[in-house]
């Protein structure tokens, strides 16, 4: 009996808006209030750079703490509409 093939990973964006509290990360939402979810990591990183160019640029040159990230969506989070 073959096992079901796992779904390919999907990616979402997160930002840390308070640089003094490194534990608080927030999902980035589109103008309609839904999660930005991507099938390809490169697309997610491009959107992150489009939305937060200064933060991404600072991270690229190690001018401060990491405050943006692209993460794999957990299967429980996939209930969100695209």
CA 30 to chain centre: 12
Q: Quick check: is 60 in a domain?
A: yes
Residue 5 in domain: no
Model pLDDT for residues 38-71, shown as the tens digit of each residue = 999 999 999 999 998 988 888 878 766 788 999 9
What b/e string do you get for 47-73 counting C-beta neighbours within 10 Å, with b at 16 or more?
bbeeebeebeebbeeeeeeebbbbeeb
* pLDDT at residue number 63: 66
Q: What is the model's pLDDT at position 21?
A: 74
Q: Is residue 3 part of a domain?
A: no
**Structural domain harbouring 17:** 11-75
Domain-located, residue 80: no
pLDDT at 82: 44
The predicted model gives 22-41 an average pLDDT of: 91
50: in domain? yes
Confidence of residue 20 (pLDDT cuts 50, 70, 90): confident
User: Does 40 fall in a domain?
Assistant: yes
Tokens encoding 42: 């490169």
User: What is the helix (H) or strand (E) element at residue 38, kind and residue range?
Assistant: strand 37-38
The tally of domains found in the chain comes to 1
Query: Rounded distance, CA 59 to CA 64, Å?
Result: 6
Q: Which of 2-6, 35-39, 68-72, 73-77 has the lowest mean pLDDT?
A: 73-77
Residue 41: Cβ-neighbour burial (10 angstroms; 0-12, 13-18, 19+): middle
Q: Tell me if 54 is assigned to some domain.
A: yes
């Amino acid at each position: 009996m073959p096992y079901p093939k796992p779904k390919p990973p999907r990616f979402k964006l997160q930002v840390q808006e308070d640089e003094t509290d490194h534990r608080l990360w927030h999902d980035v939402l589109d103008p309609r209030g839904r999660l930005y979810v991507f099938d390809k990591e490169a697309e997610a990183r491009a959107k992150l750079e489009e939305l937060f160019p200064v933060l991404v640029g600072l991270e690229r040159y190690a001018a401060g703490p990491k405050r943006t990230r692209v993460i794999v969506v957990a299967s429980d989070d996939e209930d969100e509409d695209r």
